[in-house]
Structure 1
Amino acid sequence: MSETAPILSGPELQGLDEYQSVMDVFHASVKRFADKPAFSCMGQVLTYGELDKRSRDFAAWLQHETGLVPGDRIAIQLPNTLQFPVAMFGAMRAGLVVVNTNPLYTEREMAHQFQDSGAKAILILANMADKLEKILDQTAIETVLVTELGDLHGFPKRLLINAVVKHIKKLVPRYSLPQAIPFREALAKGAGQRVEEASLSLEDLAVLQYTGGTTGRAKGAMLTHRNLVANMLQARAAIGAGLGEGCETVIAPLPVYHIYTFTVNCLFLVETGNHSVLIPNPRDLAGFVKTLKGMPFTAFIGLNTLFNALCNRDDFKALDFSRLKLTISGGMALTHAAAERWEQVTGCPVAEGYGMTETSPIVTFNPVDAIQLGTIGKPVAGTRVKVVDAEGQALPFGEAGELCVQGPQVMKGYWNLPEETAEALGEDGWIGTGDIAVLQEDGYVKIVDRKKDMIVVSGFNVYPNEVEDVVASHPDVVEVAAVGVPDDNTGEAVKLFVVSKNPDLDAETLRAWCKKELTGYKVPKTVEFRDELPKTPVGKVLRRELRDGDKSAA
């Protein structure tokens, strides 16, 4: 290898050949840590032994009460609740492929994901079941399970939680799904039946994890058992030095359907027998801090905007952080200001990592004993990274180019998209991240820019084409372009540039239009009306010119 074209490599990955699937990891952990807490939510604790039993009950129900067979897809559309790990592990025990689905999705977004994945079953929170009712006939879903927020809590707290959510907070719109089966009923029916543990291999598909595409339509990254087990072991090698086994309490405020929390909390922390505290609604900061009060948490997993929001609260600053020894940041860029403020308030430094849906997700991580702020750390075990120029040629240390990744955590491909898979992976298995990075001679990697037009709002990817498609459907819009602009609260925000044929069209009208079709974080924060948009000679709108012009104007 030439000195002018370095490839950074993590240490050798150990232990991958010890497992045949994610379920091997699960079965080993529930035996070793049966009496230890696995997950808790709103004060209710689920031990590893209880997680084993409930997931087994669900698997038995799937096998005996439905026509689902191994390889079929089941959508799980839940916030952070105890039902998520029960359903996820139960589905995998039955050999099903999990389709993680954002509970904030609109009907349009749900319909696309369910149609594309070919999901035949769904477990959905009652709060968004009215949306499912409207699009169910557009999908192949035959088995519908509905759960309420407090369903896995004991009596009478379960009834109280569900009554408050439905009747006092009125968070459950009316719906009619006569074929739906209550999740608790499914668990009860499965309890008396035998489970045939599915025969799984590392090459089998485990999860369809949807991510935005350049077409504006979400596409399913095919993550195999090998991908997920590899990334779990990579996480253990990179992060595990900061944590013990069966003794840690880890705060999990980020959504578990997102690949970041999914891998760290449902795989890495399960494998190490640790306790994940699921926060259903971290936007309720007062409630979040109340949950933390008096809890001896030892690790915290978050992202830049959450660190900022919490550190601005007096009640958070008054908490006892004496046991906190590890804070992990991912999902979006960590600013120096947020990292320094967090350490000042909590006494614990922040270790930033980097990844993407297509890499299960972890690619790099800052060693907990050698954190280098402003970098995304070093490649994790079994991983190779390089930066390349526009022609695909590797660049030397210190030169910026697109970051590319190779390793066992790289996805199998995009679901039903062979051409896009071939374009993304190439023949040698390297995948381009779309991020512009610099390799440092000390082995650390630094992200300096993004190659693509993707916008990252509070750690979630927003693809301009999708936003533009929705806005362009407004009868008064002639042309539209969406770009990302800096935002103190969310890292970036969506800004629209619009050419309208109606001089009375205003920003709030367009925002209201978007809210009907787009999840909240995708809705434009600002709108600027123009007489025309800058274009290339062939007529393509120059988003970069709009974005750069907006920055210079600011």
Structure 2
Amino acid sequence: MNLLTQFKESAKNYAAKPAYYFMDQSCTYAELDGAITKFASGLQKLGVKQGDHIALLLGNSPHFVISLYGALRLGVTVIPVNPIYTADEIGYILNNGDVKAVIALDMAIPLAEKMHTYLPKIEHYIFCETVPNSRVESKFESLSGFSKMKSFTEVVASGELTFMGPELKDDDTAIILYTSGTTGKPKGAMLTHKNLYSNAKDVSEYLKMNSDDRVVTVLPMFHVFCLTVALNAPLLSGATLLIAPKFSPKEIFELINEYQATVFAGVPTMYNFLFQNPDGKTEDLKSLRLCISGGASLPVALLKNFEQKFNVVVSEGYGLSEASPVTCFNPLDRPRKPGSIGTSILRVENKIFNELGEEAPAGEVGELVVRGPNVMKGYYQMPEETAAAIRNGWLHTGDLARMDEDGYFYIVDRKKDLILVGGYNVYPREVEEVIYNHSDVVEVAVLGVPDPNLGEAVKAYVVSKNPELTAEQLIKYCSQHLAKYKNPSSIEFIEELPKNTTGKILRRALKVQVAQNVSK
């Protein structure tokens, strides 16, 4: 069993049911299955074959769903790429990933014009029309690479509904996800058909998704959190996707109300924006049976404030690209523990290892390690990095965590974000939790900065809704709740924290700023 065969079952069982709504348009499971089949057939007619690599430079849209499932049905390896990356970032992934075809919005045609001569391996550029019935060919007729340019609509139209597709093996690489590259160049995590299917199925069962669910799909589809939790798992369950092209608190409130959404999945920043929105009312989220948070640690203060304001329960989980991604979720049938990422999901093991590679006892901080059918088979063309990440069958996450006596896990911080103050360990998240409790604070990020006496000191970057709040006041507030060595030595107020496209706060961008200031 894989995503494609399970989707076929959904298409047969729920043929007339909406598979998705997008911009006030709907598409049934039968119609979506037909489009996927024809796109797979159309790709094959272009000469794309099983084992080839294609890249998707697409935002949240039906084009993404059809392209993803169509390519997988042909046995092609899909590489989702953030479409707002720079030409250099995109070029690196396309080259490193040995991409043969690119599927993108027609807005990316100027990018193709700039890059196509430097990417000789790419044989086809398939552009999706953003304006109905437009002919994208007219936009690139002057290009020397015109023969490589195709229209998405024409590729689908050329396909045949009788297309069956090749046999897919569990260990075939289905998707290569390039990690955000916190150090050096991004690495391509190879996820197999077994990885993707097992995680989508387990998440669906764990969260009790069913055909009555209507899932808000606003997380970026090119990101693994959305791929599994808000796209694959719902489609395998016969649920309906409510596809949102971008995140806007006002539009999300409207979308949830209009379609009576039952499941919302987001990152902490999204929950913060929804909570801070002055127009948000309790009844705006009354149809939701479940809110899911992941991608980064959800501050406990935000969790409690959000739940109190909207009268919903937020279930926090944990995952990473290399694990397809979900490994933990707070259970729905047992007590939830605020601040915890929950317990191991079905068929996945999580443990805490100490520095000796031994399992740590309950309560002790160590590295979170994972094993299960969801763990990647390795990094593309990077055997050394693969060997460092997967040791003795365990995926080493790089996250510091602890487990309590009930089997609930708590992320303490990233190993690389640990601050060493005079020989004492300071976990940024612990300091951030305290600062988030201050009523004037909207967002905060904590990191270590060089200190001539202590090696490192704690610095906080804060977004405040009160222009009168001073650093001295906030430092004094922290001193009432933190040991002296954990207390911020400095606080800098900024208008907005740097974030990636999923809304995750980028500590590394702040670290670069600190390093530049130090070098001056």
CA separation of 1:486 and 1:402: change in aligned 2, threshold 3 A: farther
Q: 1:193 to 1:363 in 2, by over 3 A?
A: closer
Q: Relative contact order (alpha carbons < 8 A, sep ≥ 6): 1 or 2 greater?
A: 1
Q: How do 1:150-549 residues align onto structure 2 when only pairs under 5 Å count?
A: 158=132, 178=146, 179-190=148-159, 192=160, 194-213=162-181, 215-240=183-208, 243=209, 245-282=210-247, 284-317=248-281, 319-369=283-333, 370-426=335-391, 428-453=392-417, 486-488=461-463, 524=509, 527-528=513-514
Provide the rounded CA distance (Å) in 2 between the counterparts of 1:86 and 1:32: 19
Cα drift, residue 362 of structure 1:
0.3
Residue type matched to 1:199 in 2? E
Q: Once the two structures are aligned, what percentage of the paired residues are identical?
A: 34
Q: State the shift of 1:35 in Å.
A: 1.1
1:319 is displaced (CA, Å) by 4.8
TM-score, reference length from structure 1: 0.74
> Shift of residue 320 of structure 1?
3.7
Q: 1:74 aligns with which of 44, 54, 57?
A: 54
1:421-474 deviations in Å (ceiling 9; x for gaps): 111112x21011111000111110011121024999xxxxxxx9xxxxxxxxxx
Aligned residues: 442
Tell me the SS of whatever aligns to 1:250: strand
1:106 alignment counterpart: 86
Following superposition, the deviation at residue 215 of structure 1 comes to 4.3
Structure 2 length as normaliser, TM-score?
0.78
Deviations 1:466-504 (A, max 9, x none): xxxxxxxxxxxxxxxxx9965559xxxxxxxxxxxxxxx
Does the CA contact (< 8 Å) of 1:203 and 1:224 recur in 2? Answer: yes
Deviation at 1:27, TM superposition (A): 1.1
Secondary structure of the residue aligned to 2:111 is: helix
1:37 aligns with 2:23: no
- The CA deviation string for residues 137-183 of structure 1, in whole angstroms up to 9 with x for no partner, is 23211111011335xxxxxxx46xx89xxxxxxxx999956331111
Q: Secondary structure at the match of 2:279?
A: helix
Structure 2, gaps ≥5 residues long: 419-427, 430-446, 448-457, 465-497
Sort the Cα spacing of 1:416 and 1:55 in 2 relative to 1 into closer, same or farther, 3 A.
same
Q: What CA distance in whole angstroms lies between the structure 1 residues aligned with 2:517 and 2:265?
A: 45
CA–CA separation in structure 1 for the residues paired with 2:370 and 2:81: 26
Cα distance, 1:24–1:533 mapped onto 2, change above 3 Å: same
Give the CA RMSD over aligned residues: 3.2
2:76 equivalent in structure 1: 96
For 1:108-147, list aligned pairs within 5 A.
108-139=88-119, 140-147=121-128
For residue 108 of structure 1, report the CA deviation from its aligned partner. Answer: 0.7
Question: Does the C-alpha gap of structure 1 residues 124 and 442 become closer, same or farther in structure 2, counting only changes over 3 Å?
Answer: same
Deviation of residue 306 (structure 1)? 0.6
On the 8 A contact 1:127/1:173 being kept in 2, the answer is no
Contact kept in structure 1, 2:206 and 2:331, CA below 8 Å: yes
Q: Which residue of 2 aligns with 1:54?
A: 35
SS of the equivalent of 2:292 reads strand
Alpha-carbon distance change, 291 to 531 in structure 1, aligned in 2, over 3 angstroms: closer
Q: Counterpart of 1:315 in 2: which secondary structure?
A: coil
Q: Please give the alpha-carbon distance, in whole angstroms, between the structure 2 residues aligned to 1:531 and 1:99.
A: 37
Aligned mates of 1:398, 1:206 — CA distance in 2: 38
CA deviation after TM superposition for structure 1 residue 83, in Å: 0.8
Per the alignment, residue 552 of structure 1 pairs with: none
- Structure 1 counterpart of 2:124, which letter? T
User: Structure 2: which amino acid aligns with 1:337?
Assistant: A
Q: Could you tell me how far apart the structure 1 residues matched to 2:140 and 2:312 are?
A: 42
In structure 2, distance between residues paired with 1:97 and 1:49: 24
Report if aligned partners of 1:26, 1:270 keep a CA contact under 8 Å in 2: yes
